[in-house]
Structures are given as structure tokens and as C-alpha cells.
Structure 1
């Protein structure tokens, strides 16, 4: 439950992430001899970065290998601290345990099973509240009765503030006692209600919800998809393909029900594996097949030369897949729900589908992650650290790659200000983002869209940021030409 410090959120939720759109997990054979001191680990980091890092020609000529590995790694990144440069490296990251890194990328971590965003409690910018975004079914938080929209104001009896929220929420404790606040006559008021929730190692299912709605002559499919992961994490850091198979099953159901409009909810999806992204896009795309390019990768000259020799020209063009359960033939457009937490592999879907169909985004501007990474760990397992450096830039079939500023929504809709308005459950047709999508599809509003529910108040942090790489994942796990 690690949370980034208030005031640094805008930088850190970007810097910590790579939208795992890499082409594979790489076990480095660049392993120093002797003990794994800081200097030895840093030499390993430097050698791998000089070989695979997208901006390897920008690595400083002289580096201080006496630093701890976490600090050393960030000294290598291109223009890392220059916030004026939107094309700088905002996304590479390092993690002390490569095994935990791989597990988290496969959706497994120690968690209570809920995700939340942090807001200042009022205009004084002193008090803090945590608003529950969603709860994983079967998790400790779900068993405790916590639900989307619940407002946490206390942890272990202490009111959350800008001075203590990180300590209280990021303690890696085995158990938490949460206290709640509710709206009373429009004012956020602390209640006496408390719930004790344990933190356990939990495997998250990326599909939070899938359903259909029949409205007039429209059959609308709706999916809440929160991470691009292939399947359940295994002890060796690999995974099965259970969730990719579940994706196929969901779309098969949509096809059988005659879905002719699709709403894809990626508002909390900060990315994941490219293979799952390709599967999803291939189930949605209009007039696509295995001959059509989904996206293209651009690597540094060293990696490009090696891959050209190994795989032949064209290895960096990833095509769509032919899927028997695809519903693209029944679609002319797709509606994608987005927020400032929509990143990397999610943005890859948006960009990759644009050449083939109308992509309408509803919500707020996405992160802007047009680069991808690979996971690098020590094949000999002597070095425990894992690094996730940016290794390539992506473009769609039309060559468009310039979305580092994020995708601006077709229709801007915000989630309500939790200090003034309660939140609807996901899937409720009166929930603001989904409700707007239904209006765009059918011309019917399920509830009046009041200006008072539109909010300029943005979160100051989120538990989603504490996922591997801040969740901004675009990991390429695809072997060229396979």
C-alpha cells in the first residue's frame, strides 16, 4: 500500500511506470563477479542500461557507482528531472526485489484488495481522505464490506493528514483499522464506523465487471478492465493465460448476445503486457486481421541491429490476431472511459485502434505513455534487484506516435468531488462516465448530468501508483514473428 508523497504525485506516477509494452522478460547474463555490493550491482545496472535503454546515448559519461542502486539508477535516466521536457524519461523504474516486481506485473501483491485515490479533505490542504475506487471480489476488503465510494478518513484511529497519510497507509502492515466519513447535509463528517482489514498476498483478477445492456435497438457490452495481465502469477515469475482466456470468453458471450456497441472502461488501467493488449484490440478492431499492423516498435541502434540479425527485417511490426470471438464486424466505433490513471498499454489500445475505427474517449486526459519497457533481472539470481527501463517507442499503423501529452477526451466527464457528492457503483447507468457513454450511444440520459457533479478537484495520489512501476505498464512479452 505504498503511496507517493503529496506534491510529487504528478511526477512520480509517471516516473515509476513503464507501460509494460516491452517485448519480453529478459534475464541478464551481465552479472558481476564477487559480492553484490552497491558498486557491483550498479555496474550490472549500467551495463544493461548501456545495452538496452532506449536513450542509451544519453547516459552520463561519468557516474557515481557508490550510490545505493535505487538512487544510482535514476541518475542514468534521460532528462529525468526536467519537467519542461515532455519527451524525457518519466517511466523507467527499479525495484529491490526482482521476484516481487515480476509478481506484481502479473497482478499479485500484498494488499487489502481495494484501490483508492487520495484527496485533500478541504481547501486548507491539510486533512486527507482516501476514496475507494473499487474492491476486488473475494479480497479482505470485500469481506469487510468496503465498497466503491467509501471515504476513509482515519487509519488505526488517526485522522489522515498530509503529514501522516504516507506512514499510515504505506506501513506494509498485516492489518489496518479504517475509520470512515460520510456526507451529512453536504458536509463530510467523521462517523464512528470502523472496519479491520487484513493485508494478504492476493491475486487480482483484471476483469472487475462485464455485462450487457439492451436499450432500444442497441446491445451494449461493458467491461471494467484494470490491468493487462495474461494469467495467474507462478512462483518463478511467469504466469498462465487464464485471464487472456477469460477475455476470449467475455467476448464470445458478447458475440452470442449480438453486442453492437462497446464501452471499454480503462479508467483505472495503468497498463500491462502487450500480448494481452493485442488480444483485446484484436477482439474489438473493425476490418482487421493478422496482416494489419497493430503497432510498431523503435529500439536503440544496438538492440535494433541484434534483432534485425536474429529475426529479420520487420520484427518490430506487431500485427493483430485473427479471433473467432471477435465482435469488430458488428462495431463501427468503440467508447473508452479514461482518466489520468489510464496509461501505457491502455493508450496502446486507443492508438492502435484509431486507424481502423472511430475511438471515442470519455473522461479526462490520459497519462501519455508512448514508450515501453522490458523487465531485466539477473539470470543467476545473485543480484536480487530488478529494473524496468524504457527500451522502445511505439507508433500505430499510420505512424502516429506523438501522444506524450496524453489523449484528450472526446467528451470530458470527471468523477464527482467526493467531498460533496457520493459515487455510483461501476456498471450503474447513472454513473457519470458510463452514463455519458450510454447517452452518446443511444441519445438517452439515464440521469441528468448536473454541472455540480463535474469536478476540477484532482487526486493528490492513488494506491494504483504503488503497483509495480506505478502501474504505468507497457511491457512487451511478445517474441518477434511468433
Structure 2
């Protein structure tokens, strides 16, 4: 029985029984009361699912000591997220001074990975979005740029391009748009994230300006923002693809196939995969991208292995019987699957896919590169020459499947992945140019469009493909490093403030074997 554990497109039959009514799933005889408000029962369920399925479940306190019903917030969803944030802080990572595995330096006390959602994430991962279709970013205190634009979105239809400078938002200009970690940041967040229409004044690279007024709209995401081939000279052809989200297989595969068929037809020698803003998504799509890139010699060898907690691998996570799905004529629960490492070792499969015969594959990364993106990189490191370029990635070697609780979907890490060499654990992120991740440490160049050979990070890859070194000789590509006053940490923090939950840093489990 082959099932994808994150079934967004298929109708589901869900049994949302109150977990507090099942004595078998109550830890340490600390039984929740059987009465209470709907929110109280949901809070109990959040704790009880974590107690059995959370990857670091042995670190959690008892129900009686944790007191899930005591968490509050400005609304129900906020109260549940506050509870999840608290649950995420009990584990201890010895490689980080004993701080929790979910410790997040820009926001201590908040979960780095775990969250609860009202269902909007599932739509986005299936390629359906309902927003403006672009992201803004401060590259300096007084310089806001367009970070990316989705094809077919309102922003694309209105002519926005990556690298355009935003000099006016809803008639506010000048110092009113200067980064201040206060009123101006809140203004941008509200204009971009909390509104259905926005007016922008944009400056192009030729210094001409134009005004745009646009509204949010529903559109189908093309996760491939750009795909092209650059002739680097000396017999070197460099394929370049910007892959911005690991959407579902049905959405992503046709776009990836079109790009890689072009790469194969043009005989590329090197490949650049730009994942700088890709926060993750379906593992199955990461597997597919890994198979497209991998050499023929990797076929049938181990790609990676899922590792679950002891409760799940021993078949004792009985609470998962409440997570029921229907696929055609088959009804199954999440309890019905094999969570052992032996049952969750994924091989490379090149069947029917092109063999590119690459000299190198380069991955462009930033602090927004997470989860399924990092998984793809980790999968390929033991199999071919991999170089990463940019700033340290987010650091998420864990993933999850959705847990339905009433009208909400909870995401808490249930597994960790390791490649064929047994390597994983990149909780601090992948640092380009380090011993474990050879490459080039350099800042994101938001002043240039994707695929521009003079864009700094892409230029490093082209130069290495041509000369075998990242050192650029002759007329140097202008570096944005000299223009920026933002540190990497500050840039990451600003991105979170502006985009908030619009950035999904996930890795969705798919299992092919029933127990």
C-alpha cells in the first residue's frame, strides 16, 4: 500500500476523537479530565500527540506538570501555538550548549520548527496561493527590494521583477520606509501581509520609476521561477534553475521535467540549483529532484533514511489510530504504517530520467533555505561533487506529517533524515566553505535578477565551473557586501518579521510500506 502521508488533494475521512477520552494514550497515569471546552480538549490533544509522536518526546514533562489548558493567547490559534512553543523547549541539544533542538536565536522561546495552522499551508504546498505573489526585503536600512516574483501572480502581471527597488508603499516614501524595527517594519508587514491591496512605486535598474496598484488573487504556483543555460566558454555549459518551493509532485514534476529535459538536450556540464528562498515542502518532490540530479552510478543505492522516535518504531503510538484517511476504496490510519528505519530507507531511482553526467552541482543557499532543500543537498553529497554558495542555511534536518485536530493541522517534528553516509544533524545549518560543506561563503545579491551572470552568487558558480576556482579574476562582479549594513542574522530576522508564516520551512513525510 503506497500512501503519501500529506494528502492535500485527496478527500479525507477524519476521526477527531477527543484524545483525552482514551486512557491508553494518557502518559504516566496523569489523565486529563473528560470535560471542558472545545479549546481545552484541543489543547489536551496537542500535548498527547506530542507525547507519542514528537521526535524528542522523551524530554516532555507529564501532563500534570505541563498543564496544557493553562496556555492562552489573543485567539484560539495563538493559544495553541503558545502551547506548542512551550513543548518545543524541553529537549536538549548537546552540540548547542544544551539549548533545545528547536532553539531559534532570533526569537528565543519560540519553536524553530513546530507550528499549528488553519489549513492554509496545505493549499500552498499543493501549488495554490492567494496573495500578491512577491516578497519584499530590506537589503540595507534605507533600501527595500523585490526578492522574488511568482510567474502568473498579480506581481508578475504588473511587471515586478527581482531586484527592483521599492521606493514607495501606499504613498509612504523616504524615511517612512527606513528600517527601524518598529513603526516602519509594522507598516510594511501590515501593507504586505495583512492587506488585500497594495500600491507600490518601483525603481528599475535604469533608474526609471513606475507605480503599481494591485490586489491579492488566487493563482497556481510555478515553483520553477527561472531555468536557463549559460555558455561559460571552454566547453562548459552551465544549467541554472531557481526552485522556490517543494510543492506536491503533481504541481512540481512537469515544471522540473521541462527544465531538466532542456538541460539534457543542450548538454550541460555543470548545474546550479538556486534554493536561496526555498523553505521546503514535500519529501517526495525532494526525492524526485535528487533523482534528476544524481549520476547514473547512484541508481538503486541508498538516498536517505527516515528515523522516528522509539514509540513510533515500536508500534506504540496508538494515538495515530485517530488520524484516519480515505484513499479511494481504502481507509487507513497513520498507525498502520511501518516507522522502522529498515522500512523507511529510500533508494535513488533513475528510471526514465535523464543522465546529465555533471562535473559539479552547485546549490545557492541562504538562511531561508530549509528542510526539503537541505535534504536534497544532503542526499547528493555522498554521490557527486557538491558545492554550496551563499550564507548558512536554516538548519532543519527533521520533518513531519500533519496531525489533524478539530479544524487545525499541527506540525511537530516526527523524524530526522540521514544520507547514505549516515550524515545529518545539521541543526546549525549548512555553512558554505566549511569542512563539511565545501563552497563559497558570500552574501545574497538582491540587486540583480535571477539568472543574471553578474549576480554575485551565480557568478561564483559560473567561474568555478569554468576555472575550478571561486576566485574571480579580471573585472570583478560588484559585491553587495560593501553596500550592506545588515548582518546575516539581522537579514534573517527582518525576513521573518516581514514574511512571517508566508515562509513554510517544512519537510513532509511519505511512506510506502504498511505494517
TM-score computed with the length of structure 1 as normaliser: 0.80
1:46 offset after TM fit, Å? Answer: 1.6
- Unaligned runs of at least 5 residues, structure 2: 22-34, 72-78, 103-110, 317-334, 433-438
1:193 offset after TM fit, Å? Answer: 5.0
The answer to whether structure 1 residue 322 and structure 2 residue 334 are counterparts is no
1:30 offset after TM fit, Å? Answer: 5.1
Secondary structure, counterpart of 1:279 in structure 2: helix
**Do the aligned residues in 2 keep the contact of 1:438 with 1:445 (CA within 8 Å)?**
no
Q: Larger RCO: Structure 1 or Structure 2 (Cα < 8 Å, ≥ 6 residues apart)?
A: 1
**Partners of 2:345 and 2:359 in 1: CA distance:** 25
**Partners of 1:137 and 1:152 in 2: CA distance:** 19
- Which is higher, the Rg of structure 1 or of structure 2? 2
1:131 offset after TM fit, Å? Answer: 1.6
The answer to whether structure 1 residue 196 and structure 2 residue 213 are counterparts is yes
User: Which of 262, 265, 278 is matched with 2:271 structurally?
Assistant: 262
Cα separation, partners in 2 of 1:366 and 1:162, compared to 1, 3 Å: same
Q: Which residue of 1 aligns with 2:27?
A: none
The answer to whether structure 1 residue 218 and structure 2 residue 236 are counterparts is yes
Equivalences for residues 149-228 of structure 1 within 5 A: 149-158=163-172, 159-160=176-177, 161-164=180-183, 165-170=185-190, 172-180=194-202, 194-214=211-231, 215-228=233-246
Deviates more, 1:28-37 or 1:319-328: 28-37
1:268 offset after TM fit, Å? Answer: 1.2
**Partners of 1:469 and 1:429 in 2: CA distance:** 29
**Partners of 2:116 and 2:381 in 1: CA distance:** 34
1:373 offset after TM fit, Å? Answer: 1.4
Cα separation, partners in 2 of 1:25 and 1:388, compared to 1, 3 Å: same
User: Which of 422, 426, 429 is matched with 1:399 structurally?
Assistant: 422
Q: How many residue pairs end up in the alignment?
A: 430
**Do the aligned residues in 2 keep the contact of 1:294 with 1:320 (CA within 8 Å)?**
yes
Secondary structure, counterpart of 1:390 in structure 2: coil
TM-score computed with the length of structure 2 as normaliser: 0.75
Q: Which residue of 1 aligns with 2:512?
A: 479
Superposed CA deviations along residues 177-224 of structure 1, whole A, max 9, x for unmatched, are 12446899xxxx9x9853212112232210001111223311221111
**Do the aligned residues in 1 keep the contact of 2:155 with 2:214 (CA within 8 Å)?**
yes
**Partners of 1:182 and 1:207 in 2: CA distance:** 23
**Partners of 1:462 and 1:230 in 2: CA distance:** 25
Q: CA RMSD in A?
A: 3.3
The answer to whether structure 1 residue 118 and structure 2 residue 138 are counterparts is yes
Q: Which residue of 2 aligns with 1:15?
A: none
**Do the aligned residues in 1 keep the contact of 2:56 with 2:91 (CA within 8 Å)?**
no
**Partners of 1:252 and 1:367 in 2: CA distance:** 30
Q: Which residue of 1 aligns with 2:156?
A: 142
**Partners of 2:508 and 2:49 in 1: CA distance:** 17
Q: Which residue of 2 aligns with 1:412?
A: 441
Superposed CA deviations along residues 140-165 of structure 1, whole A, max 9, x for unmatched, are 11222222112224432232353232
- Unaligned runs of at least 5 residues, structure 1: 1-21, 123-128, 232-240
**Partners of 1:361 and 1:384 in 2: CA distance:** 40
Secondary structure, counterpart of 2:414 in structure 1: strand
Cα separation, partners in 2 of 1:227 and 1:464, compared to 1, 3 Å: farther
**Partners of 2:149 and 2:246 in 1: CA distance:** 18
The answer to whether structure 1 residue 31 and structure 2 residue 17 are counterparts is yes
Secondary structure, counterpart of 2:247 in structure 1: coil
Cα separation, partners in 2 of 1:403 and 1:56, compared to 1, 3 Å: same
